[in-house]
Amino acid sequence: MSTIVAGRYQLVAPVGQGATGVVWRAYDLLLERDVALKEIALPPGPGAAERRRRVVKEARMAARLSHRGIVTVHNLAEEAERLWIVMEFLEALTLHDTVVQAGPLPAELVAKMGRRLLEALRHAHDGGVVHRDIKPANIMLTGDRVVLADFGFAGFESTATTSMRGTPAFIAPETLQGRGGTREADMWSFGATLYMAVEGRTPFRTVDSMAALMAALQEPPRAPKRAGALEPVLRGLLRKDPAARLTSEQTYAMLVNLRRHSAA
């Protein structure tokens, strides 16, 4: 017998693992459409209330963002000591899986994807929301859409944080020093994501957790070999000093300029 959540969402099959829970494909029996449900267990104990608060915050944050480059949140349900975030369902590959299967992507294609992703990120930043975990595994590619997913670590930019959040190979140096939670840190992660897409590897020589953390603090990123005209964008985004890093406005202008030159 199929499991039905909140009296209307029929679970079909697990489709992935997000930063904070299992993601299911499901069917909305009321509106007769496919949806995605992120299942988040709330085991009893001292941390249960705080975990629930964070999940509700994530859902509210994502729901207040309306952009075709950000996964749409439809609802939040609670049942059987679990919270379920109900989202649009995308038939999509992640950027990570695309690079693993197809290898490094052409610089022109990466620049095009970068423009669309940056439009979504700028929309989030304009709303005061920073993502904190931008990486290829959180970028969905479907049709002509490039979609930013999983706001499980997201927060308001004005909210200071001293905890390390994110994925080591894509985390900004200042985040490791307890100065994360800013749009500048998101831009570093965005740059590391574009680097991975065009080079087929991370900006540093290892993805081992501790080594990657130390490399981000002490070593320059590896020189790109396939980036071509995209290289100045990558170098500008991966500057260790947040104040010297390219802003989203500067980056977008450079990516648009690359499109004009390629069309000339």
pLDDT value for 160:
43
Closest to 85 in 3D by CA, of 121, 58, 47: 58
Q: Tell me the two tokens of residue 237.
A: 């985004």
Hey, where are the domains in the chain?
4-88, 93-263
pLDDT value for 162:
44
Kindly provide the b/e burial profile for residues 20-37, where b requires at least 16 CB atoms within 10 angstroms of the residue's own CB: bbebbbbbbeeeeeebbb
Vertex 258 angle, CA 254 and 259, to 5°: 120
CB 114 within 8 A of CB 189: no
- 38 labelled as ligand-binding? yes
pLDDT value for 57:
80
CA–CA dist 87, 76 (Å, integer): 9
User: Is 93-263 a domain of CATH 3.40.50.720?
Assistant: no
The stretches of 151-203 forming alpha helices (DSSP H) are 173-176, 183-199
Alpha carbons within 13 angstroms on the beta-carbon side of residue 124 total 34
pLDDT value for 13:
94
pLDDT value for 114:
97
Residues catalogued as catalytic? 133
- φ, ψ of residue 202 to 5 degrees: the values are -80, 165
Residues of the chain with pLDDT under 50: 158-164, 264
CA–CA dist 132, 250 (Å, integer): 20
Q: What architecture is the 4-88 domain classified under in CATH?
A: 2-Layer Sandwich (3.30)
What strands lie across the sheet with 22-28, from one edge to the other?
4-5, 9-17, 22-28, 33-41, 82-88, 73-79
**Whether the domain at 4-88 and the domain at 93-263 fall into the same CATH topology:** no
pLDDT value for 159:
45
pTM of the model: 0.86
pLDDT value for 167:
72
pLDDT value for 14:
92
